[in-house]
Homo-oligomer: A and B are copies of this chain.
Amino acid sequence: MPQSPPDPPRPQAGRIPAGPSTEPAEPAGADADTPAIGRRVRALREARGISLSALARLAGVGKATLSGLENGTRNPTLETLYAVTAQLGVPLTSVLSGPAAGPTVRGAAVSATLLEVFEDADATYELYRMRVTPGPGQLSPAHQPGVTEHVTVFAGVLRAGPTDAPLTAAAGGHLRWTSDVPHGYAAVGDEEVAASLLLRYPRPK
């Protein structure tokens, strides 16, 4: 019996000698936890302030389907899940496993990659990796009331915040503001800015 495992170290049973489990062992990170997927979809939808009915209509799926998906009572088809995430403007991967990220979405001088969607007792969060290239600042419209933004700068100097009262931070610095007003991001100087962006959406209701 030829032992086959290819090169990059396979998951291998027993990464921690804990369980008596001889099962094939999970492939680190990704999961098919449908309830969790449903929660992430719902979090994204509510963060965008659109109703279940509206999203179902936009995505071309039945309300029953979307309801079941969000509540984790169904085991959605790829086609279904894709139709929904596409409408939410996020890659399919961002609702599957917690981290693992997806492709990038671009604006004028700003690009942001959604790394993770998660939640605690009273808010949902979207974590982005962000790059701001030198040039005219990027403007964003206001969010719903109560939304706050947290930016941590890794490299370069960033001027960001409400358009009428921007803040500035260099590498290692942190900025925070409530983003229910127009606001923007701009690199100060010639250097490109690398930063993380955390959006906090208070839980509706």
Contact = CB atoms under 8 A, between A and B. Distances in A.
A105 B8 contact: yes
B86 A75 contact: no
Interface string A67-103: 0000000011111011101111111110011011111
Contacts of A99: 103
Interface of A: 2-11, 15, 24, 26-32, 34, 37, 47-50, 58, 75-79, 81-83, 85-93, 96-97, 99-108, 110-112, 114, 126, 128, 130, 138, 140-141, 143-144, 147, 149, 179, 183, 197, 199
A32 B179 CA distance: 33
Candidate in A8, A179, A183 with the most chain B CB atoms within 10 angstroms? A8
A140 B91 contact: no
B37 A78 contact: yes
B75 A28 contact: no
